[in-house]
Amino acid sequence: MKLPLARLGPLCGLLAAVVFLVLFVTALILDPGWQMGGMWLSDLGVRQAAWAFNTACVLAGLLLIPYALSLPRVLHRGAVTWVGAVLFLVAAGFLIGVGVFTEHFGSLHTIVSFGFFGTLVLGWIVLAYPMHKTAAFGGLGAVINVVALLVNAASAVLFNAYTLEAVVVLSAVVWGILTAGILLARQPAAAAVPTPASNV
Domain membership flag for residue 155 = yes
**How confident is the model at residue 186, as a pLDDT?**
86
- Phi/psi for 133 (5° steps) reads -85, -5
Domain membership flag for residue 195 = no
Closest to 136 measured CA to CA, from 187, 101, 179: 187
For residues 68 and 114, the answer to whether their CB atoms sit within 8 Å is no
**How confident is the model at residue 119, as a pLDDT?**
98
Domain that holds residue 177: 5-186
Domain membership flag for residue 41 = yes
Domain membership flag for residue 192 = no
Cα separations in angstroms, 115 against 88, 106, 109, 129, 163:
11, 15, 10, 23, 18
**How confident is the model at residue 179, as a pLDDT?**
96
Domain membership flag for residue 193 = no
Domain membership flag for residue 47 = yes
**How confident is the model at residue 188, as a pLDDT?**
58
Q: Which residues pair with 36 in a beta bridge?
A: 39
Structural domains of the chain, count:
1
How far is residue 71's CA from residue 113's CA, in Å, rounded to a whole number? 23
**How confident is the model at residue 195, as a pLDDT?**
42
**How confident is the model at residue 193, as a pLDDT?**
38
- 10 Å CB burial of residue 163 (0-12, 13-18, 19+) is middle
Domain membership flag for residue 29 = yes
Domain membership flag for residue 200 = no
- The upper half-sphere exposure of residue 80, i.e. CA atoms within 13 Å in the direction of its Cβ, equals 14
Per-residue pLDDT of the chain (200 residues; tens, 9 = 90+): 567 888 999 999 999 999 999 999 999 999 999 999 999 999 999 999 999 999 999 999 999 999 999 999 999 999 999 999 999 999 999 999 999 999 999 999 999 999 999 999 999 999 999 999 999 999 899 999 999 999 999 999 999 999 999 999 999 999 999 999 999 998 754 433 344 444 43
**How confident is the model at residue 83, as a pLDDT?**
98
Non-local CB neighbours of 171 within 8 Å, separated by 6+ positions: 148, 151, 152
